[in-house]
Amino acid sequence: MAEVKKVRTACRSCHGGCGVIAHVKDGKVIKVEGDPASPISHGTLCSKGLAITQLAYHPDRILHPLKKMGKGWERITWDEALDTVTEKFKEVIKEYGAESIVIGQGTGRDYESHLYRFANQLGTPNVLTAGHMCYVSRVASTLVTLGNLPICDYRGGPKLIVMWGCNPQWTNPDEYKGVDFWKAYKKGAKLICIDPRKGFVAKKADLWLQVRPGTDAALAMGFHHVIIEEDLYDKEFTENYINGWDAFKERVQEYPLERVQEITWVDKELIRKAARMYARIKPACIHWGVPTEQNNNCADCTRAIAGLMAATDNLDAKGGNVLYVNPPTRTVAEFSRHRDLPKEMHARRLGADQFKLGARVAFINPKKAWDAILTGEPYPLKAGLLCGSNPVVSRANAREAYDALKKLEFFVIIDHFMTPTADLADIFLPAATWLEQNHVADNWKRHGFVVARQKCVEIGEAWQDHKIFQELGKRMGQEWWGTVEDALDYLLEPSGLTWEQFKEKGYLRGEMVYHKYKERGFSTPTGKVELYSTILEKWGYDPIPKYTEVPESPYSKPELTDRYPYILNAGLRTPTFFHTANRMQPWLREIRPDPLVEIHPETAEKEGIENGQWVWIESPRGRVKERAKFNRNIDPRVVVAEHGWWYPEIKEEGHGWDISNINLLTDNAYETLDPAIGSTNLRVCLCNISPVSEANPV
């Protein structure tokens, strides 16, 4: 019998970093299991990671380059594929300029450093990511406020955890793994949960604040009101380390609890109790998720929540929200050569004059890209390359995204499967899974670790994304290394390790030091936490956080409520899918065969809906269908729908992208976006709901 080889690597089926032991036999991964030696995941592995072999060896996976011809897709060689892309890109640059090429990514497969290096050397400022409303928006907002992203120090022993719009045991988001939260909770930490829906975490919480979707910024200001009114803030920190504390206190007076209760639907005494708990129990940490970012209050909400950490002296304190020290590797910014982008191109970045906070972290708002393609204003986008991204399903106003990508003169996709977005491309470049790559993983995160992702197998002709950017970049005349591993040696150089040495070591961790600001202040213009932001003021934005009513709500658009009486909270997470991915994997699809929309039984009775019935969800922009699931733990005025749905089993072009795609209902009009970062209101719009029936079939 052939020997089974065990390879230590790191998962990237969702946000990544979990330690994995892959069992390899006869050149094939036969199973994976969690690695108990992992300092991040401690042997745990979620359903998405455990099902990786069903993705890697799926019969529909694309394993060789394809080119769209008159009669459909035809197999080509890597040389022909890369030469075709190079020729087309050079034609566009010659005729229109490099800015007429858009480079983009989805949530990513740890290739951000390579994608940006390629884009910067190409000369285009137009990089399209999920960052305008997911994670990077949080990073950008905290960078201008305190110079870094504060992370829960679960290892430091928090006595109180505020779980704000996040379910880490299902999503394992970004720097976090659900296991760290659960360990801290089981050790006795008190728990406050802020969520419109009473899920697993809320059921375990000491306090549950059932906030109206999209009003988290007002709730944060309500917390501040209690903390200031009752003199619960830390005097030394606010006097010495906060810029604009007096001005901020004046702004907070605009948010008495009676007003906050009216805005958020949370009882004022419950807000008071929660704020007191957070201010009095030390140390305390706040763990917040993307729902707080996916609305027009993204930057203000992030800044107000960061202000809570600062005002209570839970910032960079053990067990609070800390600023982790990076391990000794080159940063993404250094590796990606941001300085290579010509200065004049920064000003030509689409939306640079409108979403200045987004421009600060080098991405564009999708609406700007779609407009440039469809209208040619302010200049046309003629070609594009998207890596691991499915915006036809994942972006607001999905039909506009579809129309724009369909109109691109030349479009390249890098992915595993033929998705609704890939259907529109001219060239398909097959990407390797995380089982098939070498990389210094998690190097973009701010949790103090990097981990070794080791190649376990090669499958077909698929290349890891890093190699694709590297080889395409060479053909474009860019400066790269001979191999992927040579590039990793460069990335690791500050540590004194080579890739071969690092993969044996397994991980690096930055040495943690608390209260760093006492020695060097904060990385802001004033050296303090800027609750009065000198940067935002310079750019023409309000320098102090506030709450702005959601653009489409019963309060901002009362004229719509007769036809659309419910608030749609779109984006319900599941433990099986990663945004638009994984719906072709049998184990995962068996757990969740159909898209679900959760409604309160009172709402169902009012609308004549039975549990499990297919229902129409309709907004002013269209309608889709999902299967109803009754949930008494949501407000009867709210419906909660899953996102990311398309149907790989539908083999026709489009794969049913417009059947259950909740983003056909969301909006991306400029007046609805966060003014500084450009975040879209993916989580909040008005809708109605009705049963699918013989009388109402389509």
Q: What average pLDDT score do residues 640-666 get? A: 97
The answer as to whether 267 is a domain residue is yes
Comparing CA positions, the residue from 19, 14, 7, 13 lying closest to residue 451 is: 19
Q: Which residue has the higher pLDDT, 470 or 573?
A: 470
- Name beta bridge partners: 617: 624, 689
When mean pLDDT is compared across 1-5, 82-86, 360-364, 618-622, the lowest value belongs to 1-5
Q: Are residues 79 and 97 in the same domain?
A: yes
Q: Are residues 380 and 478 in the same domain?
A: yes
Q: Which pLDDT score is estimated for 314?
A: 98
The answer as to whether 265 is a domain residue is yes
The answer as to whether 231 is a domain residue is yes
Mean predicted lDDT score pLDDT of the chain: 96
- DSSP H/E element including 553: none
Question: pTM, whole model, 2 decimals?
Answer: 0.97
Q: Are residues 72 and 178 in the same domain?
A: no
Q: Are residues 100 and 244 in the same domain?
A: no
Q: Assign 697 a pLDDT band (cuts: 50, 70, 90).
A: low
Neighbours of 45 (CB within 10 A): 21
Q: Are residues 125 and 77 in the same domain?
A: yes
The answer as to whether 548 is a domain residue is no
What is the phi-psi region of residue 312: left when phi exceeds 0, alpha when psi lies from -120 to 50, beta otherwise?
alpha
Q: Tell whether the model's pLDDT for residue 121 goes beyond 70.
A: yes
Q: Are residues 274 and 187 in the same domain?
A: yes
- Report pLDDT digits (tens) over 160-169: 999 999 999 9
Q: Are residues 158 and 243 in the same domain?
A: yes
Q: Are residues 361 and 486 in the same domain?
A: yes
Cα 224 to Cα 228: distance, rounded to the nearest angstrom:
6
Q: Tell whether the model's pLDDT for residue 695 goes beyond 80.
A: no
In 3-state terms, what secondary structure has residue 643? coil
- Name beta bridge partners: 411: 384
The answer as to whether 364 is a domain residue is yes
When mean pLDDT is compared across 37-46, 275-284, 372-381, 689-698, the lowest value belongs to 689-698
CATH of the domain at 242: 3.40.228.10
The answer as to whether 6 is a domain residue is no
CATH of the domain at 624: 2.40.40.20
Q: Are residues 391 and 269 in the same domain?
A: no
Q: What average pLDDT score do residues 534-540 get? A: 98
Q: What average pLDDT score do residues 117-129 get? A: 97
Cα 180 to Cα 12: distance, rounded to the nearest angstrom:
18
For the chain, how far is it from start to end, CA to CA, in angstroms?
57
Q: Assign 642 a pLDDT band (cuts: 50, 70, 90).
A: very high
Q: Tell whether the model's pLDDT for residue 1 goes beyond 70.
A: no
The answer as to whether 196 is a domain residue is yes
Most confident of 128-132, 133-137, 328-332, 625-629: 625-629
The answer as to whether 279 is a domain residue is yes
CATH of the domain at 356: 3.40.50.740
Domain that holds residue 577: 558-691
Task: Give pairs for 476-484: CB < 8 Å, separation 24+.
Answer: 476/86, 476/89, 476/90, 476/118, 476/121, 476/122, 478/117, 478/118, 478/121, 478/122, 479/121, 480/117, 484/437, 484/438, 484/439
Q: Are residues 308 and 407 in the same domain?
A: no
Q: Are residues 422 and 294 in the same domain?
A: no
Q: Which pLDDT score is estimated for 2?
A: 78
Q: Tell whether the model's pLDDT for residue 694 goes beyond 80.
A: no
Q: Which pLDDT score is estimated for 650?
A: 97
Q: Are residues 372 and 427 in the same domain?
A: yes
Contact 159, 282 (CB under 8 A): yes
- Report pLDDT digits (tens) over 47-97: 999 999 999 999 999 999 999 998 899 999 999 999 999 999 999 999 999
- Report pLDDT digits (tens) over 406-419: 999 999 999 999 99
Q: Which residues contact 149 (CB under 8 A, 6 or more apart)?
A: 138, 139, 142, 143, 323, 446
Position 328, amino acid: P
3-state secondary structure 85-132: HHHHHHHHHHHHCHHHEEEEECCCCCCHHHHHHHHHHHCCCCEECCCC
Q: Which pLDDT score is estimated for 693?
A: 84
- The percentage of the chain sitting over the pLDDT mark of 70, rounded to a whole number, equals 99
Q: φ and ψ at 407, to 5 degrees?
A: -85, -15
Please tell me the total count of domains within the chain: 3
Q: Which pLDDT score is estimated for 339?
A: 85
Cα 491 to Cα 493: distance, rounded to the nearest angstrom:
6
